């Protein structure tokens, strides 16, 4: 296998070198303590995203352009091959037609010698009038014709075999060149894949470095926030402790008194002390006791009034029960009296009916009258 020297793609090396220089400049800018800022640079991140999207769009358009160019070249090559085949076919048809019409074997003067066509041409000119240039067969020319033909056939066979070998060698050379070209294309593709992997590794490393940097910034910012909260809490606790231990909260009356002079009592500053003197406290306590005593008296009076109302209600309820009981006894006595009256009326009616029945048995008209009477009474 022969070693093939592949062409060096200087554009790829230039792109790798440009990326390396950009990464070096970015690291120098990031890890520079004087130029570093806390937090995230949203403008720079947005610009990076826009540049990345723009670069991706450019690469996508370039790939599409290359793809369209490749398709156009493939179609042009296929069309050129088809045109060449059509031209060769037309040329071969014209050549075959020319051979068949203009260069027929029978039209030659020596057709009888080459094709063994005896009497192919009828020579009307007498032989005595023909000169030396009109001779077709010279003396001694026909000897060894078969041997010469066999040698010619062998030579033709050798030539054809040599042509076949030459064509085979040329075909093998074309296949070898095509194999080398394909190998070179594969090598270029592998080189492009490796380059893409290298660029992807570079981008991945850049993303990892950027993520680490962002995490470090976030951790540092969180730590600063914690320290700021601690400082604020310590300051608030100190302020609360100072307020709690101040004279205002401990109610130190001496710190709030101010002498006015002129025999007047000292003036108390309400913004420093809001307490009360013992006399004021005793007055408030006495008023509270008096209010408690008055409230107790009022509660006792309300309780006595409630008890009197309860007694009156009990008395009224007992009287109502007595009246109800009397009215019930009266209604019961009335019902008994009414029942006795009804029983008396029933006995009298029964006796009257028995009397009428006896009368009816003795007198029929009376019976009819009695029936009519009963019907009307019903």
For residue range 139-185, what is the model confidence (pLDDT) as tens digits?
Answer: 555 556 777 778 888 888 888 888 888 888 888 888 888 888 888 88
Residues 167 and 218 in one domain: yes
Average pLDDT score over residue span 67-76 = 87
d(CA 36, CA 46): 18
pLDDT value at residue 106: 66
Closest CA to 38 of 205, 228, 207: 228
Domain that holds residue 74: 49-89
Residues 237 and 290 in one domain: no
pLDDT value at residue 172: 87
Closest CA to 177 of 196, 185, 306: 185
Specify if 125 maps to a domain: no
Specify if 230 maps to a domain: yes
Specify if 315 maps to a domain: yes
Specify if 70 maps to a domain: yes
pLDDT value at residue 338: 92
Q: Which residue has the higher pLDDT, 257 or 237?
A: 237
Specify if 11 maps to a domain: no
Domain C-terminal end among 189, 223, 241 = 241
Helix (H, G, I), strand (E, B) or coil at 41: coil
Q: What is the pTM of this model?
A: 0.25
Residue 294, pLDDT above cutoff 90: yes
Residue 115, pLDDT above cutoff 60: no
Specify if 362 maps to a domain: yes
- Please report, for residues 75, 83, 186, 191, the alpha-carbon distance to residue 86 in angstroms, rounded to integers and kept in the order given: 16, 5, 33, 40
Strand partners of residue 315 = none
| 184 burial level (CB within 10 Å; 0-12, 13-18, 19+) | middle
Q: Report how many domains make up the chain.
A: 3
Specify if 329 maps to a domain: yes
d(CA 72, CA 78): 10
Contact 283, 263 (CB under 8 A): no
Domain C-terminal end among 189, 215, 241 = 241
Residues 289 and 236 in one domain: no
Give the whole-number percent of the chain exceeding pLDDT 70. Answer: 72
Domain C-terminal end among 180, 209, 241 = 241
Specify if 353 maps to a domain: yes
Residue 78, pLDDT above cutoff 70: yes
Side-chain-facing half-sphere of 41: CA atoms under 13 Å = 13
């Amino acid at each position: 296998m022969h070693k093939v020297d592949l062409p060096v793609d200087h554009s790829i090396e230039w792109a790798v070198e440009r990326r390396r220089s950009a990464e070096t400049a970015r690291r120098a800018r990031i890890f520079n303590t004087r130029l570093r800022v806390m937090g995230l640079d949203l403008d720079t991140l947005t610009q990076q995203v826009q540049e990345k999207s723009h670069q991706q769009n450019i690469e996508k358009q370039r790939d599409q352009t290359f793809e369209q160019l490749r398709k156009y070249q493939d179609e042009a090559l296929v069309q050129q091959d088809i045109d060449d085949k059509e031209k060769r076919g037309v040329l071969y048809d014209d050549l075959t037609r020319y051979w068949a019409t203009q260069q027929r074997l029978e039209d030659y003067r020596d057709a009888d010698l080459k094709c063994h066509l005896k009497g192919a041409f009828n020579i009307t000119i007498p032989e005595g009038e023909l000169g030396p240039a009109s001779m077709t067969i010279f003396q001694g020319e026909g000897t060894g014709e078969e041997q010469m033909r066999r040698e010619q056939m062998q030579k033709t066979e050798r030539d054809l075999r040599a042509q076949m070998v030459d064509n085979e060698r040329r075909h093998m050379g074309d296949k070898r060149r095509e194999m080398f070209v394909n190998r070179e294309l594969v090598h270029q593709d592998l080189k492009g894949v490796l380059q893409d992997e290298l660029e992807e590794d570079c981008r991945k490393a850049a993303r990892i470095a950027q993520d680490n940097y962002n995490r470090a910034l976030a951790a540092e910012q969180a730590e600063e926030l914690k320290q700021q909260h601690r400082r604020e809490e310590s300051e608030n606790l100190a302020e609360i402790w100072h307020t709690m231990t101040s004279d205002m909260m401990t109610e130190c009356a001496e710190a709030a008194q101010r002498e006015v002079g002129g025999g007047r009592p000292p003036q108390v500053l309400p913004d420093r002390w809001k307490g009360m003197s013992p006399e004021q406290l005793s007055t408030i306590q006495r008023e509270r006791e008096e209010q408690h005593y008055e409230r107790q008296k009022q509660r006792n009076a309300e309780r006595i009034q409630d008890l009197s109302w309860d007694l009156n209600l009990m008395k009224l309820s007992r009287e109502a029960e007595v009246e109800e009981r009397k009215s019930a006894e009266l209604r019961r006595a009335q019902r008994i009296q009414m029942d006795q009256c009804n029983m008396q009326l029933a006995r009298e009616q029964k006796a009257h009916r028995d009397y009428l029945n006896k009368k009816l048995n003795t007198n029929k008209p009376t019976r009819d009258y009695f029936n009519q009477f009963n019907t009307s009474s019903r």
